[in-house]
A = this chain, B = another copy of it.
Amino acid sequence: MIKVTIIGNGNVASHLTDAFLKASEVSLIQIYARKLESISQLKSVTTITDSFDDILAADVYIIAVSDDAISEVSSRIPKNNGLVVHTSGSFDMHTLQCNHSKGVFYPLQSFSKDKKVNFNTIPLCLEAEYEKDMKLLEQLAFAIGKKIYRINSKQRQQLHVSAVFVNNFVNHMYKIGYDICKAYDVPFEVLQPLIAETTAKINTMAPIDAQTGPAKRNDLKTIANHLTLLNKAQQEIYNTITKSIQNG
């Protein structure tokens, strides 16, 4: 049985809490939050606290707080034999300012507070200073999930910036498509099958092989025509991405 303490009460913390409470090999012994009332609903299932003085001895402390607070929060965990990990995609393992062994437990997904998640489908990216700690994190990860990867800090940073492209920037492309449709009274749902197909394709093809369209074909007539249909801000994006596709 792995004794786990979660520090934080945001989206990642609350989804991890749900998952660990269901995992038979994990004992979620405590949850810390700065404001006790924010986690009061959990007091029937675990110990809750708002004081670092009351932190119990655990095998793993999971710091799931905003990136900027990781360093300070980690420095306040009382010294013992436990392993301290953060859950950030962009911060180095050594952001942790504690005398404990250090690691990272990064679930790569975009969490919303109200939307249930299935950890079986979420990649859990692990890092640790020592092999024995890595083994412990793997055991903990397999207790709630299936897609477990060893990813070091440098790789994780790159993964995080990749995620901005394939998630945030992709969503912005959807937003522009939505705006254009709305302006001309075309239901956005007309584009949904194409969106699904675009995403499905890269399960079986490298994205570069899946590329189609006027930029790829160097169809200058269509590109020029498209530019006349867009506003200035949309034109800038259209030109920048078209140029990038043409450069391969």
Contact = CB atoms under 8 A, between A and B. Distances in A.
Nearest to A174: B207
A52 interface: no
Interface residues of A, number: 82
B175 A173 contact: no
Contacts of A161: 180, 226, 229-230, 238
Contacts of A164: 213-215, 226, 238
A108 B149 CA distance: 38
Interface string A56-85: 000000000001100000000000000000
B167 A180 contact: no
Interface of A: 67-68, 90, 108-110, 121-123, 125, 147, 149, 151, 154-155, 157-178, 180-181, 183-187, 190-199, 201-203, 206-208, 210-216, 221-222, 225-226, 229-230, 233, 236-238, 240-241, 244-245, 247
